[in-house]
């Protein structure tokens, strides 16, 4: 398959720029696999599609204020997006970062964020990434002090106060992501409690989402695309719950593409041999055989992205693109702060 086979027309005005006043006020499109039938609901009605005994798995990663705006000591503004910490050093911490603008950045370039915090470029470490030494005794504290919410580039505005809470799930607790697991943004404490009260089992895992996941796949053969590695951790209790659900014929419902990738990577060697932690560069695209996930909660994704390809692998390319065309026709809101889809 080629990347252009996963393209679709999207008017700019359908890209959600702000969250709705309430998390659970989003619209919910339900796509029934096989039949290809669509239903149009509101998110609170997702409970009608869950059953006692279902296992619903969430990603509890927490977004860090990863955008750091500073100046080179030689002059000129620079913005770093801190993506992943590599090592701890005596002088501070080494992080992989995206740099904007990258022109004029070289080994040894110093970027100052404040009197008590600066970074020094160590060299390139992959396409679009640099390793920087962030200097200071409490680097995490300095990132929190000087950093801003790393809103995606299709949200064409600066982060404001509301983003600190709403670009974060209500169950976020393990810091390390630079992009929110957006399917989880719709869930409230009340909905989670109602799920438990009706006999739905809830478990968590962690995958720290990086920015490259959302980038469009370049023109050409999809099989030539590579998804950058992201770190995950699956608690033993979650792995045991998944194994039990599959053996007992209960549904495993993944909330988001990150949960889907993590579960499929974790159980790649079978239910009895889970890989509980590590890095995964699993690229799920049409032709992939799902071993774990039976239903999927997901937002509407960018054209040509690896995420829309994952959804197409789960529900069928033609059915997904038809659903997206209908979402455009009905004026659904797209991407991170947009509406939601349930595939059953």
How far is residue 59's CA from residue 177's CA, in Å, rounded to a whole number? 11
167 shares its domain with 140: no
201 shares its domain with 309: yes
Range of the domain at 265: 3-63+163-343
B/e letters for 136-155, b = 16+ CB within 10 Å, e = fewer, are beebeebbeebbbbbbbebb
Query: Of 120, 146, 172, which residue constitutes the final position of a domain?
Result: 146
**41-to-18, 29, 30, 237, 278 alpha-carbon distances in Å:** 21, 6, 8, 33, 38
* DSSP H/E element including 132: strand 130-135
**Three-class secondary structure of residue 13 per DSSP:** helix
Q: Which tokens in the block code for residue 328?
A: 């455009």
Domain count, the chain: 2
Q: What radius of gyration, in Å, describes the C-alpha atoms of the chain?
A: 20
41 shares its domain with 89: no
152 lies in some domain: no
**305-to-3, 76, 220 alpha-carbon distances in Å:** 8, 33, 13
Query: Of 146, 179, 214, which residue constitutes the final position of a domain?
Result: 146
Domain CATH number, residue 89: 2.40.10.240
CB of 243 closer than 8 Å to CB of 274? yes
Domain CATH number, residue 51: 3.40.1780.10
158 lies in some domain: no
Quote the Cα angle for 243-264-209, to 5°.
120
Query: Of 93, 119, 146, which residue constitutes the final position of a domain?
Result: 146
H helices, E strands: number in the chain: 7, 17
CA 329 to chain centre: 26
131 shares its domain with 185: no
How far is residue 189's CA from residue 53's CA, in Å, rounded to a whole number? 20
131 shares its domain with 269: no
pTM for this structure? 0.95
28 shares its domain with 137: no
pLDDT in tens, the chain (344 residues): 899 999 999 999 999 999 999 999 999 999 999 888 999 999 999 999 999 999 999 999 999 999 999 999 998 999 999 999 999 898 999 999 999 998 889 999 999 999 999 999 999 997 789 999 999 889 999 999 999 999 999 999 999 999 999 999 999 999 999 999 999 999 999 999 999 999 999 999 999 998 866 677 877 888 888 888 889 999 999 999 999 999 999 999 999 999 999 999 999 999 999 999 999 999 999 999 999 999 999 999 999 999 999 999 999 999 999 999 999 999 999 999 999 999 99
Q: Which tokens in the block code for residue 146?
A: 């000087």
104 lies in some domain: yes
């Amino acid at each position: 398959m080629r990347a252009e086979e996963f393209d679709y027309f999207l008017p700019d005005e359908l890209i959600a720029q702000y969250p709705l006043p309430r998390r659970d006020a989003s619209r919910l499109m339900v796509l029934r696999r096989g039949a290809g039938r669509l239903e149009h609901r509101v998110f609170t009605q997702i409970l009608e599609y869950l059953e006692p005994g279902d296992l619903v798995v969430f990603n509890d990663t927490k977004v860090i204020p990863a955008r750091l705006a500073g100046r080179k000591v030689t002059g000129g503004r620079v913005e770093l997006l801190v993506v992943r910490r590599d090592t701890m050093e005596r002088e501070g911490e080494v992080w992989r970062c995206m740099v904007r603008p990258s022109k004029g950045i070289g080994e040894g370039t110093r970027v100052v964020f404040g009197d008590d915090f600066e970074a020094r470029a160590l060299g390139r470490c992959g396409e679009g990434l640099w390793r920087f030494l962030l200097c200071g005794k409490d680097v995490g504290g300095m990132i929190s002090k000087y950093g801003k919410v790393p809103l995606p580039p299709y949200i064409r505005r600066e982060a404001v106060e509301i983003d600190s809470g709403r670009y974060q799930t209500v169950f976020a607790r393990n810091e390390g992501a630079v992009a929110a697991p957006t399917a989880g943004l719709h869930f409230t404490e009340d909905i989670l409690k109602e799920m438990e009260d009706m006999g739905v089992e809830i478990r968590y895992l962690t995958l720290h989402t990086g920015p490259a996941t959302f980038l469009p796949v370049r023109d050409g053969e999809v099989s030539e695309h590579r998804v950058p590695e992201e770190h995950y951790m699956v608690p033993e209790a979650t792995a045991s719950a998944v194994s039990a659900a599959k053996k007992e014929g209960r549904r495993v419902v993944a909330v988001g593409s990150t949960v889907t990738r993590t579960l499929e990577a974790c159980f790649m060697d079978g239910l009895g041999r889970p890989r509980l932690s590590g890095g995964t560069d699993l690229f799920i695209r049409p032709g992939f055989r799902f071993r774990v996930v039976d239903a999927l909660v997901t937002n509407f994704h960018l054209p040509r992205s690896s995420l829309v390809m994952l959804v197409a692998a789960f529900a069928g390319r033609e059915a997904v693109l038809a659903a997206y065309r209908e979402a455009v026709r009905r004026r659904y809101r797209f991407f991170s702060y947009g509406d939601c889809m349930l595939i059953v």
